[in-house]
Amino acid sequence: MSQTLVTYFSASGVTANAAKILAQAAGADLYEIKPEVPYTRADLNWMEKKSRSTVEMNDPSSRPAINGKVEHMDQYQNIFIGFPIWWYREPSIIDTFLESYDFTGKRIILFATSGGSGLGKTAEGMKKLVPGAKVENGRMFNGKVSEADVKAWVQSLNL
């Protein structure tokens, strides 16, 4: 069994594609963070003040429910967490995920896709939710994702 897990949330498939390439390159297990209530197109409308994503992202205590669970989280030492950047940070469902397990002593490496924003202070914010873990801003996967490039990156991480 692998000691490395790639987890991801993806509302429209872009992060899912990167996650699959990453899991392959890292020889890691793959787990999709699925919302209990899937996001509709209307939910994702960031121009709309009352859309679900806007309401959730404006409320730091929002914790959208996840459908399912990672079996044997204790077996993993390195956990990649991938997501689309929403309002310059991780979607609230990632906060739900972080609070659902004991990540003490584990290495968490973030990756993301976006329309252009970077990870910014995402790791700093997430660290507050999992104080016992090491949380690192990994990298963005915007544009075409090259398998060779991802492999080289994974190797440089010394997992």
CA distance 115 to 73: 31
* Binding status of residue 55 toward ligand FMN by CB under 6 A: no
Tell me, residue by residue from 95 to 124, as one string, x for binding to ligand FMN by CB under 6 A and - for no binding: ------------------xxxxx-------
Residues between 3 and 22 that touch ligand FMN (CB under 6 A): 10-16
* Least spacing, CB of residue 77 vs ligand FMN, in Å: 25
C-alpha distances (whole Å) from 128 to each of 20, 45, 47, 82, 136 are: 28, 28, 29, 18, 13
CA distance 22 to 98: 20
* Least spacing, CB of residue 118 vs ligand FMN, in Å: 8
CA angle 80, 51, 121 (to 5 degrees): 35
Give the residue, chosen from 84, 95, 103, 150, that forms a contact with ligand FMN under the rule CB under 6 A: 84
Find where tokens 């992202």 sit. Answer: 57
Give the residue, chosen from 4, 7, 53, 96, that forms a contact with ligand FMN under the rule CB under 6 A: 53
Q: Given the complex with ligand FMN, which of 14 and 159 has the nearer CB atom?
A: 14
* Least spacing, CB of residue 74 vs ligand FMN, in Å: 28
CB 106 within 8 A of CB 80: no
Q: Given the complex with ligand FMN, which of 123 and 133 has the nearer CB atom?
A: 123
- Alpha carbon 93 to its chain centroid, in Å, reads 9
CA distance 115 to 16: 15
**Residue ranges binding ligand FMN (CB under 6 A):** 10-16, 44, 46, 53, 84-88, 113-117
